[in-house]
Chain A
Amino acid sequence: MFAAEAAETAVSWFYTHAWVIPALPAASFVLILFFGKRLPFKGAEIGITAVAAAFVLAVLTTFTWIGDVQAEIASHEEGTTTEEHGTTEGGATTEEEHGTTEEEAPATSEEEEGLASGEQAAPAAPVAEEEEGGHATRGAPILTERTWFSNGADTFRIGTLIDGQSVMLLFVVTFISLLVHVYSTDYVHGDRRYTHFFAFLSLFTAAMLYYVLSSNTLQMIMGWELVGVCSFGLIGHWWEEKANSDAALKAFFTNRVGDIGLLVGMITLYFASGKTFDVVEINSKAISGETSHTALLVASLCLMAAVMSKSGQFILHTWLPDAMAGPTPVSALIHAATMVVAGVYLIGRLYGVFWMGLSIPGSSINAMAVIGAVTTVGGGLLAFVQRDIKKVLAYSTVSQLGYMVLALGVGAYTAGMFHLFTHAFFKACLFLGAGSVSHACHHSFDMKADMGGLRKYMPKTFITFVIGSLALAGIPPLAGFWSKDEILAGAGVWPGTEGNGDYWMPFVFGMITAALTAAYMTRTVWLTFFGEYRGHAHPHESGPRITTPLIILAFMAVVVGFLNLPGPFVETLGLPAGIAHRFEEWVEPGGIASFPPIDHANPSLTLAIVASLLAAGAGFVVLRYYKALYAKDAHAAEYTDGLRSRNTLAAAGYRVLENKYYLDHLYTGIIAGATKGPIADAAYWINQNIIDGIINTVGKFSVGLGRFVYHFIDQGMVDEAVNVSGRTASGSGQFLRRIQTGQIRQYATLMFGSAALLAAVFIIAI
């Protein structure tokens, strides 16, 4: 009790009441659902107010967190011992279990405290071990939990977990969600289900925030599935057309396939970690070696399946491009910036498990890095052949998500998280920009037929889109450059980088993607904004509710990269040393038991230059190519992409890409088709003809026997059951109404009598 109270005074209100952040949009969902249609702005005002409030809270939480982390770092630098830090923060719930030695804290056992006080807040397990690199204990997760339900002697708790990672995503989700809300008031204006759209946006925001704040894996499963449902609902927003509902179903099914992995993986972790869903405890036990390596490996691989489906990794990525059937703001919010990173977030949340399970440190290959590497190149290639601007961006998202997974796979935790962070801004900017473009072009997304030359008509959209593209392509000094560079360095193979291992294959794939990204984005920008206008509409710049979010996001795409400047860079320029590695300090915990001891790769100037040149070069080549192509004929790309008409190998490659590696044929045509068709039909045939056939035969035989007994033997010793069936089968509906209580008694007597007889026989027999 005392511990809990003490903790509450020590821990910021924003940490203990973080649950308010998802609760706001959740309340908004309910309000819009019931009252939305009657309001002047059809419910949009509720959604915007709630998300804005959530955003303010998230910002305040973020600043509180940053302040606390900075204070921790400062106190470390002043030489204050970590013990003191431990006591000021109050009763750490899990300390005893993790065997922290330095403190005889008033740490009551988890159950007692949970039952007694109901609610508590405490940082979990700050361990005072000083790492080699001299990191102080910093960024320990802060849990606020209450009892949820119990089973046997095990109590399960529900609550929030505040740490760098969750705070970072809180900010991203509320920020982008707010902009998307504002954008949508114009973009889906006049839609047949305007109110409903905003209700779902609120629900999604609530579910995503709930997921982000989850303190245990059970809550994560809940949030994970709830965002999936919102995604389903929003992809299928225009469900009148079958193509849209097909896309929605495909997204849901694919995610369900991954969910098998999620369920099995989480269950494995639950038992392997000694019956707990607690994220901090699972991580701590994994890192300390308490959990068996086999279990961790199995769990990691299962969870990777879940990540593959949610975060669009090869080979379960196929739903993501189809998901573009939903309204564009949804694509920006859900299928680019937030929901699809849930998988990446999951890896980060359980990084200890993956770290140990996949043996990330000191290795040169592992499942996660390979999946990420293949995805990043595979997605990038596919982005090249799309003519639908949203599909380009969708495959680009696949590719960038691959980057994040690759980063986490090679042990570059901060790089992965940083890329998640920067990507959210520039990709949202690009998607919303694509929406703005289509808004101007009769709601078409076809770059080849309906776009071209738009820079003259919509300068704001053009400039923001170009900024977003440059950021995505990794051109310095925009956001994407810094995060991508960190990932490439994190692979640890470039001379002087020294990461957690020698990840050659992921590194090479990452470099290829750097070039690919610049190439396809150049193509997209060219086809959309340069050359002659090829459509038949009257393009115009979008209104302020669309352009303002674009400008804000473009601004973010320029600046957020500076949050994590590499140390040497800062030194060379003579900037204050404090501004280097800010993001890393805020997001990545240091010196705690629930986070693995990561070696940070050194940034390399040569690598940065080479990668940037690669990107710029690829972009330049593509630019030259399209310029030349369209100089000859303004509609050139409509019937040819040049190369593939001349080279059979290129044509074959193009065909493979155009058919999306034939994965859709395999899933929809073969697997789903067979299950829905022949397999289900066969099962049902067996049901009707064999299993039920036996029953019917027995039934008919009994009826026949009954008739036989009645007609020929006629002794009145007829089994009542057969009697009933015999007589009713002869078609007398009246009979049913005639049975009366007397006959029930008769039936009961008979039943008991014969059963007693049978039982007697049975007893004697055995």
Chain B
Amino acid sequence: MTDFLNDWGIALMVFLPLVGVAIMMVIPGQEEETHKLIALVTSLGSAVMGVLLLQNFDYDRTKDLQFLVDQRWIEVINARFTVGLDGISLPLVALTLLVTPLVIIYSWNHIPDPGNAKAFLILMLVLHTGMLGTFVAQDLVLFFVFFEVVLLPMYFMIGVWGGENRLYAAIKFFLYTLFGSAFMLVAFLALYWVTGSQTFNLQDLAAEVASRDIPLRTQVLIFGGMFLGFGIKVPMFPFHTWLPDAHTQAPTQGSVILAAVLLKLGTYGFVRIALPILPEAAVEWAPWIGLLAVIGIIYGALGCLAQTDMKRLIAFSSVAHMGYVMLGIATLTNFGINAAIFGMVAHGLITGMLFFIAGSVKERYHTLEIKRLGGLLVQAPHMGWILGFTSMASLGLPGLAGFWGEFPAILAAYNPAPGLSVSLFRTYMVIAAVGTVLAAAYLLWLLQRTAFGTPSEEFAHDDHIHDTVFTEWVAWVPMLILIVVLGFIPSLIFDVTNAPATVVGDVFEALGR
């Protein structure tokens, strides 16, 4: 069993959804139920593989890559098929494995207009493969391919199943991300040539950069390319404007996946690639990343306060929340990186949940305009309370998952890695702490205006408005439970991420001395 997992585990987990896609291709589109079933089964199959991997994962050496597979792939450019799992990728892989099946379950009776479950679910499965692949890839070219594979399905999802303004949003999303990717690819290739190492392997490259005397300026420029690629994906201020449009226009499922997993590809890229390979450049960039992060926190929150549309508000809140993640990363300390990874998972669960709720509200009220809503607690009490609970989680309430992404990030900023300006980062710390007040403000105002009060005349006697249905419960309950469990037992994630995060942090400790 272990041998089998070592050789095939990751590959099966990543590519099983594509098998589902192949089967669905030959089944006619009218058989929607069959398609849903196949999609669910394959995503669950992938999840089962994932669970087996998690079970056989050696938690005593989370800093090492496990189930490592290193095969020939494109020999001309020395790109290899290298995949593996370690403590940094594990939580994100687990998050992806959880979210996709839940989204498929939610889709059971929520296929957005114009229908066509077959195409919709095929795209979902392709997306799944792309996301998982990105989190396990240990070769820059492979990483890049998976990173881009994600782009197209999401593009179609927004462009075909989206809202009124879907084409604009889809193209903006696609082009903007592609723009970043181009720079990222340039950076990857530059790295390849500058080191002259004939490899795209992440760990080898990190060693190569460390052993060779590459001018700092070159490193900083290469880091800049990666920064654009990852930063746009996160998205960091001021590259965030694609996000509200994409989220607002995307169908619920697209929004959930976008918030829960896609944004993390960017932050993951920083932790996995940019920081370990180019530590010296990271020290140069960190103050700027921290600056943009705290601007994002305040700015995203202010953006939220100005919104009149519930979904767009949630989208803006992502800008603020990812600001905390980036602040954690910018401190270049193990605490900050631990917080960042926790923040990624927590944000995935919480904001994913918020988008789920927004989707269900839209389905019932046919609008997300905040001033027309109100009294959700009267008409759909369960959903109202779930919204309340998730809002509390989102504003970083201790005892729920969001806190462990936010507070340690703020804490880490008190004492950034050696070589970074302490007073500057302490200023960031205070600004980030102020951001928590604004977060409470926009979330509770949202809650007050949508859930409290009494339903407006318009919807008071609408029989179409009903409480949470079965598929919603099935899709939501696991996420809600996880939000609570992670809130009280943060060690579930910290124990996994701590060792590899410390490896990254130690690099900067050593560098500063």
Instruction: Please report A residues at the B interface, Cβ cutoff 8 Å.
Output: 147-152, 221-222, 224-226, 229, 236, 239-240, 242, 245-246, 249, 252-253, 256-257, 259-260, 263-264, 267-268, 270-271, 672, 675-676, 679-681, 683-684, 687, 691-692, 695, 699, 702, 721, 724-725, 728-729, 731, 733, 736-737, 739, 744, 748, 751-752, 754-756, 758-760, 762-763, 766
Contact = CB atoms under 8 A, between A and B. Distances in A.
Given A148-B491, A699-B172, A676 B305 contact: yes
Interface stretch (B7-15, B96-104, B184-192): B184-192
Nearest to B502: A152
A766 B217 contact: yes
28 contacts: A149-B495, A150-B491, A150-B495, A152-B334, A152-B335, A152-B498, A221-B398, A225-B399, A226-B398, A240-B454, A245-B448, A256-B440, A256-B441, A257-B437, A263-B433, A675-B438, A680-B302, A683-B303, A684-B306, A695-B241, A721-B175, A733-B167, A752-B185, A759-B189, A760-B193, A762-B186, A762-B221, A766-B221
A724 B174 contact: yes
A225 B241 contact: no
Interface stretch (B49-57, B351-359, B409-417, B467-475): B409-417
B241 A729 contact: no
B89 interface: no
Contacts of B453: 239-240, 242, 245
Contacts of A152: 334-335, 498, 502, 505
Contacts of B434: 260
B397 A684 contact: no
Residue among A150, A256, A676, A724 with max Cβ neighbours from chain B (10 Å): A256
B440 A755 contact: no
B179 A151 contact: no
Contacts of B190: 759, 762-763
Nearest to A695: B241
Given A249-B448, A252-B444, A725 B160 contact: no
A691 B241 contact: yes
Contacts of A758: 182, 186
B185 A683 contact: no
Contacts of A702: 175
Given A150-B494, A728-B171, A755-B189, A249 B148 contact: no
Contacts of A724: 171, 174-175
B306 A683 contact: yes
Contacts of A224: 398
B176 interface: yes
Contacts of A699: 171-172, 175
Nearest to B389: A229
A239 B377 contact: yes
How many B residues are at the interface, by size bracket? 35 or more
A152 to B, nearest CB: 5
A148 B495 CA distance: 10
A751 B185 contact: yes
A756 B189 contact: yes
Nearest to B440: A256
B194 interface: yes
A155 B288 CA distance: 31
Contacts of A225: 397-399
Contacts of A222: 398-399, 403
A148 B498 CA distance: 13
Contact of B186 (A150, A672, A676, A755): A755
B160 A736 contact: yes
B407 interface: yes
B189 A151 contact: no
B399 A267 contact: no
B498 A150 contact: yes
A236 to B, nearest CB: 7
Contacts of A691: 238, 241
B430 interface: yes
B391 to A, nearest CB: 11
A710 B299 CA distance: 40
B338 interface: yes
A679 B178 CA distance: 33
B189 A264 contact: no
Interface of B: 119, 145, 148, 152, 155-156, 159-160, 167, 170-172, 174-176, 178-179, 181-182, 185-186, 189-190, 193-194, 215, 217-218, 221, 238, 241-242, 299, 302-307, 334-335, 338, 375, 377-378, 392, 397-399, 403, 407-408, 410-411, 414-415, 429-430, 433-434, 436-438, 440-441, 444-445, 448, 451-454, 490-491, 494-495, 498, 502, 505
Contacts of A151: 334-335, 338, 408, 494, 498
Nearest to B182: A755
A100 B278 CA distance: 47
Contacts of A149: 490-491, 494-495
Contacts of A748: 145, 148
A279 B106 CA distance: 46
A721 B171 CA distance: 10
A246 B408 CA distance: 31
Contacts of A260: 430, 433-434, 436-437
Shortest Cβ-Cβ A-B pairs, 3 listed: A684-B306, A680-B305, A149-B491
Given A759-B185, A759-B189, A763-B194, 15 more contacts: A147-B491, A149-B491, A151-B338, A151-B408, A221-B398, A222-B399, A224-B398, A239-B377, A242-B453, A245-B448, A249-B448, A252-B444, A264-B430, A724-B175, A737-B119
Given A270-B411, A683-B302, A733-B167, A264 B429 contact: yes
A580 to B, nearest CB: 42
Given A226-B397, A260-B434, A692 B171 contact: no
Nearest to A758: B186
Contacts of B178: 721
Most chain B CB atoms below 10 A, which of A245, A253, A687, A760? A687
Contacts of B452: 236, 239-240, 242, 245
A760 B194 CA distance: 10
Contacts of A268: 414
Contacts of B398: 221-222, 224-226
In this complex, which of B174, B189, B299, B429 has the most chain A Cβ atoms within 10 angstroms of its Cβ? B189
A149 B493 CA distance: 9
B160 A737 contact: yes
Contacts of A679: 302
Nearest to B193: A763
B176 to A, nearest CB: 7
B186 A759 contact: yes
Contacts of B495: 149-150
A253 B194 CA distance: 53
Contacts of A683: 299, 302-303, 306
A687 B167 CA distance: 20
A147 B170 CA distance: 47
Contact of A249 (B171, B189, B408, B444): B444
Contact of B303 (A675, A684, A766): A684
Contacts of B156: 736-737
Nearest to A744: B152
Contacts of A721: 175, 178-179
Contact of A725 (B171, B182, B215): B171
Contact of B175 (A675, A725, A731, A763): A725
Nearest to B435: A260
B21 to A, nearest CB: 12
Of A150, A152, A728, most buried by chain B (CB within 10 Å of CB) is A152
A229 B375 CA distance: 20
A760 B377 CA distance: 60
A236 B391 CA distance: 16
B134 to A, nearest CB: 16
A676 B408 CA distance: 28
Nearest to B167: A728
Given A151-B494, A245-B448, A687-B303, A259 B436 contact: yes
B73 to A, nearest CB: 14
B417 to A, nearest CB: 12
